[in-house]
Amino acid sequence: MDALKKISETSMKENAPAVEVGDTVKVHVRIKEGDKSRIQVFEGTVIAKKHGGISETFTVRRVAHGCGIERVFPLHSPAVDKVELVRHGKVRRAKLYYLRDRVGKAAKVKELI
């Protein structure tokens, strides 16, 4: 068990982004297409954080063309190039799954000032 802990500590990112639930973020993801790779930006609201340590993930939700899209990103993955914080959100929940049922302005999260 100690060996697994040491391996996970060495493979964790030192400058992991401080992402909180309710924040609006831009996630820069490295995508491989054949022998080429490019960066794709996914912007949305963080609705959940799960696990901890090396297996920590966060779920980002956005609405595009009236259709809700959610992606789960591993925090310490090499595919996640960087995470930009657009704005902090003021929330009182650990999971914002209730945003799935809301449409338009009701699905907004207030900004933390």
User: Is residue 107 within 8 Å of 97, Cβ to Cβ?
Assistant: no
For the segment(s) 2-107, the CATH number from 2.40.10.340, 1.10.630.10, 2.30.30.790, 3.20.20.70 is 2.30.30.790
The whole-number average pLDDT for the span 88-103 is 95
| Nearest CA among 54, 16, 47, 52 for reference residue 109 | 47
pLDDT at position 79 over 80? yes
The whole-number average pLDDT for the span 71-84 is 93
The residues spanned by each domain of the chain are 2-107
| Nearest CA among 81, 76, 84, 86 for reference residue 38 | 81
Cα diameter, the chain: 49
Q: Over the stretch 27-53, which tens digit does the pLDDT of each residue have? A: 999 999 999 999 999 999 999 999 988
Residue 27: its pLDDT value, please? 97
Q: Name the pTM for this structure.
A: 0.89
Using the Cα atoms of residue 35, residue 39, residue 40 and residue 45 in order, give the sign of their dihedral. Answer: positive
